[in-house]
Structure 1
Amino acid sequence: MSQDAKYCNESRVVKTSHVFPPDTNVHNTLFGGRLMAYIDDCASLSATRHARYPCVTASTDSVDFLSPISMSDSVCLESYVTWTGRSSMEVFVKVIAENLMTGERRIAATSFLTFVALDKEKHPVVVPQVIPQTDEEKKLHETAPARAVLRKERREESRKLAEFLTTNKPW
């Protein structure tokens, strides 16, 4: 590890919110899009905290909705950098729903996002490596290279699809 490597915990962000009626859909559960905005916000803070440069979302690699989040729940997001490339960072976000009346907690969603750190001229900059400490951090760190391969394959498929797609007006 290089001298400027940082612990996963140094990028950790925790955000907890109530679930209010304007945040819910017709099923009285948290809008998926609202949760996705929370996820991107927390992940971007973790990436910036790790790199100490402005960061942009390169991709939302996955968002897996595992359990609905209702108005009787709070929603707590925990994010941190799990792995780095040269200028990119993989950020993991764990979403925990807590029934505020019973105290029952459950994993409601998980997400992986990729961010790139940019300098003032908007060029990618080298970011510190990451050092995992907990069992969770170690597991995510050691499985990250496989996710990186899948991410590159998916991005290439997206590029090929974009070449095929039209920008003609549909009307």
Structure 2
Amino acid sequence: MDKDLNEHKKHLKGKTPGQSEIEMTQLVLPNDTNILGNLLGGQLMHWIDIAGALAASRHSNKVVATVALDSLDFRHPVRLGEMVILKARLTWVGRTSMEVSVDVYAENMKTGNTILTNKAFITFVALDDDGKPTEVPPLILETEEERRVYKEAEKRREYRLKRREKE
């Protein structure tokens, strides 16, 4: 069986992080905000999950399921009427799972000022037509920055796996 899996993996064409990158834009409307006029955290998490899933699906050419959200940092509130730009990019790929980094920016459309408001790391698993985990193409790293980010992602994965063992 392992021989078959290795043969299958050889036939999977790898992709660079840039080939599966996603940029998604949303407008913060009144229904997306709390009573202070700030974007609801749950709404932002929904958009982050969608952007991450799109990048993972683009890489794997499969439907994906969210496995873990390693971190979500709220650095700055996003206000009513601002544009939210989500940039999702693969950082690590295993046999069936992928880590995606999603950077969130808020753009004030009156001033043109843009600020990084959030950063998240999400793990997805690729699914076959029967809903079972399936192999994904390898990630081709081209730059030192991509290699550095990959190593950081491996550390997050090790920490996540150790945490699961304790549970």
* Pairwise same-fold verdict (TM > 0.5): yes
Partner deviation per Cα, 1:61-94 (whole Å, 9 max, x = no partner): 1111111001142110010211111100001100
Q: Unpaired segments of 5 or more residues in structure 2?
A: 1-9
Against the structure 1 CA distance between its residues 151 and 129, is the aligned structure 2 distance closer, same or farther, given a 3 Å change threshold? same
Superposed displacement of residue 150, structure 1 = 1.2
Partner of residue 77, structure 2: 68
Is the 1:30–1:71 Cα contact (8 Å) retained in structure 2? Answer: yes
- Alignment of 1:94 onto 2:103: yes
Partner of residue 168, structure 1: none
Matched-pair identity in %: 39
- Tell me the distance in 2 between the aligned counterparts of 1:143 and 1:39: 20
State the AA in 2 paired with 1:16: T
Is the 1:8–1:131 Cα contact (8 Å) retained in structure 2? Answer: yes
Partner deviation per Cα, 1:85-136 (whole Å, 9 max, x = no partner): 1100001100011111111111100000000011122221111111234565
Taking the TM superposition and a 5 Å limit, the aligned residue runs for 1:14-53 are: 14-53=23-62
Taking the TM superposition and a 5 Å limit, the aligned residue runs for 1:151-170 are: 151-157=160-166, 160=167
- Tell me the distance in 1 between the aligned counterparts of 2:54 and 2:144: 23
1:44 counterpart SS class: helix
| TM-score when normalising by structure 1 | 0.85
What is the CA RMSD across the aligned residues, in angstroms?
Answer: 1.6
Q: How many residues align?
A: 157
Superposed displacement of residue 155, structure 1 = 2.8
